[in-house]
């Protein structure tokens, strides 16, 4: 789970066979334990169903499912949903997270925490030197 700017709130690694709606209860419990003040969550269609009512009843959290507009054809960036995908792309800059090297989910969760700490430190105090995206192109 990430906040509105893409910084991690809580992380939970599960098997690929676990559906979003089934793992949603566990991640909401973890979120409520870590940050009990969160009251509104944006989610994709995988979290529809009984989870929305459970979150409202148990933790007083509103789960708002961001849906694709009916008139949309093809791909388009949806507000709120791209934030998580962008965070995934930031994390995949860390070589250890590109492949599943870890045997235990807890170890992978720790690697995600380490990567996010590195990302936040680079935002607070960027390393010196030129940035690859700011180099000037040579003219012929």
pLDDT value, residue 12: 94
Residue 5: inside a domain, yes or no? Answer: no
pLDDT of residue 71: 87
pLDDT of residue 74: 85
Q: What is the pTM of this model?
A: 0.79
77 in a domain, yes or no?
yes
Instruction: Evaluate whether residue 6 is within a structural domain.
Output: no
> What average pLDDT is seen over the chain?
89
Name which of 53, 82, 51 is nearest 66 in CA terms: 82
pLDDT category, 101, cuts 50, 70, 90? Answer: confident
More confident residue, 57 or 44: 57
Comparing C-alpha atoms, which of 1, 56, 7 is closest to residue 34? Answer: 1
Report if residue 130 sits inside a domain. no
* Distance, CA of 37 to CA of 34 (rounded, Å): 9
pLDDT, greater one: 61 or 74? 61
Number of domains in the chain: 1
- Let me know how long the chain is: 140
> Is residue 8 assigned to a domain?
no
Tell me the residue range of the domain where 46 lies: 20-125
- Which of 77-81, 105-109, 131-135 reaches the highest mean pLDDT? 105-109
Q: Is residue 67 part of a domain?
A: yes
């Amino acid at each position: 789970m990430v906040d509105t700017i893409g910084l991690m709130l809580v992380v939970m690694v599960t098997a690929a066979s676990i559906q979003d709606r089934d793992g949603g209860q566990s991640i909401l419990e973890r979120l409520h334990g870590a940050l009990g003040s969160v009251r509104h969550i944006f989610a994709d269609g995988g979290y529809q169903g009984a989870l929305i009512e459970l979150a409202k009843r148990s933790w007083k959290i509103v789960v708002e499912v961001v849906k694709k507009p009916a008139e949309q054809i093809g791909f388009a960036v949806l507000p709120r949903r791209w934030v998580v995908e962008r965070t995934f792309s930031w994390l995949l800059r860390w070589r250890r997270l590109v492949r599943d090297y870890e045997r235990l989910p807890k170890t992978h969760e720790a690697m995600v925490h380490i990567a996010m700490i590195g990302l936040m430190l680079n935002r607070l105090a960027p390393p010196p030197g030129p940035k690859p995206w700011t180099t000037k192109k040579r003219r012929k």
